[in-house]
Structure formats: C-alpha cells, structure tokens
C-alpha cells in the first residue's frame, strides 16, 4: 500500500500572506506581542496597543487594592504589563525618531543643496545627474528655492543656471 506524501509546511492562508510558525519567529528575531507582529506596527499603533493593556491592568490593580481583600489576584495577571511596557518604550522611541527625521528636513532638498555647494552652479539637468532627482523634480525644487530668494539665477545661452548666493568677506550672502 503506497503512502501519501504530506507537505512539510502548512498551506498558505487564504489572504496570501504567509505567517511563519511560532518557533520560526522566535529564532528569526521577529517580535511577537500577544499574537501581533509589532515590526509591522507604526510607532503610534505600538503606543496605542501598549496603553490599551497597561491602563486596564493598572486601573484594575488600583481597584483591587482599594476596594477588595483579594488584591493578591492582581499579581496573577500583572505579568501582561511587562511586555506592554517594552512596547510602550518602543513606540515612544519610534515617535521621537520620526520627529527628528522631519526636523532634519527633506532629504531630496538636502541632496540638491549639497550638489549645489559642491558644483557651485547647476542646471536642472545637471542637478538630476548629480542627485537622485528627476529633471522635472530638480527643476521644480530649484525654481521654488529661487522664488523664495534662496538661490541666485543666471541666464546664459538660453539656459537657467542656479547657484547659492556668494558670500562677501564678512560672511553675509550677497543679494539678501
């Protein structure tokens, strides 16, 4: 009688997303928080999830201590707060990282200004070659910076050349 071969893994779920086995997640370093893959959660969602666990646990502890003689029961389910504190810290850290990324400015604009500083003068096409911007993106950004008075514009041979304002001997930008 022939034996039927069974697959060595479970079939894919109906939604098409494969979930590794619990043992696989533990060995591959993926974080699992009460069945949630916290790596896929935004910092705000991590913070909300942590607070959704910590607040009821803390509130029940206060009520058990204040109103009953069975306060010791709180210690039996208090363990769920420990991973929630870790998730809370992770969410707060993620939110603060997001703010510093915003404060550092637009990466493409910074890249464009760096190319301007290195080359001294650029056309939109040259800016596209020096940076990861397309010609239309570089043209738009250079035009906006020039309209804001941040760049000097020169016309030569029918082309627009953008440059940073030159500094005088006292370190002030000319034309400002």
Which CATH number belongs to the domain containing residue 126 in this structure?
Answer: 1.10.10.10
Strand partners, 152: 163
Q: Is 13 inside any structural domain?
A: no
Query: pLDDT tens digits for 129-154?
Result: 988 889 999 999 999 999 988 899 99
Q: Is there a single domain that holds both residue 65 and residue 128?
A: no
Q: Is 171 inside any structural domain?
A: no
Query: pLDDT tens digits for 57-79?
Result: 888 888 888 888 887 887 777 88
Residues 6 or more apart in contact with residue 141 via CB below 8 angstroms: 108, 109, 112, 133
Residue of 164 and 107 predicted with greater confidence: 164
Q: Is there a single domain that holds both residue 77 and residue 98?
A: yes
Q: Is there a single domain that holds both residue 40 and residue 96?
A: yes
Q: Is there a single domain that holds both residue 154 and residue 131?
A: yes
Rounded percentage of the chain residues whose pLDDT exceeds 90? 16
**pLDDT interval class at 39 (50, 70, 90):** confident
Stated pTM of the model: 0.40
**pLDDT interval class at 27 (50, 70, 90):** very low
Number of Cβ within 10 Å of residue 131's Cβ equals 21
Q: Is there a single domain that holds both residue 80 and residue 147?
A: no
Q: Which of 56, 84, 103 is the last residue of a domain?
A: 103
How many domains in the chain? 2
Q: Is 68 inside any structural domain?
A: yes
Domain enclosing residue 160, as ranges: 107-164
Out of 11-20, 41-50, 117-126, least confident range:
11-20
Residues 6 or more apart in contact with residue 93 via CB below 8 angstroms: 43
Out of 24-33, 59-68, 100-109, least confident range:
24-33
Q: Which of 103, 123, 149 is the last residue of a domain?
A: 103
Q: Is there a single domain that holds both residue 31 and residue 80?
A: yes
**pLDDT interval class at 162 (50, 70, 90):** very high
Q: Is there a single domain that holds both residue 26 and residue 95?
A: yes
Rounded to whole angstroms, how far apart are CA atoms 173 and 119?
18
Q: Is 15 inside any structural domain?
A: no
Q: Is 6 inside any structural domain?
A: no
Average pLDDT, rounded, for the chain: 77
Q: Is there a single domain that holds both residue 29 and residue 99?
A: yes
Q: Is there a single domain that holds both residue 43 and residue 115?
A: no
Q: Is 173 inside any structural domain?
A: no
Is pLDDT at 103 greater than 80 in this prediction? no
């Amino acid at each position: 009688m022939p034996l039927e071969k069974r697959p060595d893994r479970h079939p894919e779920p109906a939604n098409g997303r494969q979930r590794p086995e619990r043992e696989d997640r533990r060995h591959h370093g993926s974080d699992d928080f009460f069945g949630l893959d916290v790596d896929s959660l935004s910092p705000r969602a991590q913070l909300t999830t942590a607070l959704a666990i910590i607040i009821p646990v803390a509130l029940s502890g206060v009520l058990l201590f204040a109103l009953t003689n069975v306060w010791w029961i709180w210690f039996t389910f208090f363990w769920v707060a420990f991973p929630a504190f870790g998730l809370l810290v992770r969410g707060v850290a993620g939110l603060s990282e997001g703010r510093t990324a915003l404060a550092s400015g637009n990466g493409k604009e910074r890249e464009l200004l760096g190319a301007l500083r290195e080359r001294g003068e650029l056309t939109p096409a040259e800016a596209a070659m020096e940076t990861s911007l397309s010609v239309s993106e570089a043209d738009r950004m250079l035009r906006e910076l020039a309209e804001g008075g941040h760049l000097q514009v020169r016309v030569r041979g029918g082309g627009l050349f953008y440059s940073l304002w030159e500094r005088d001997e006292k370190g002030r930008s000319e034309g400002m």
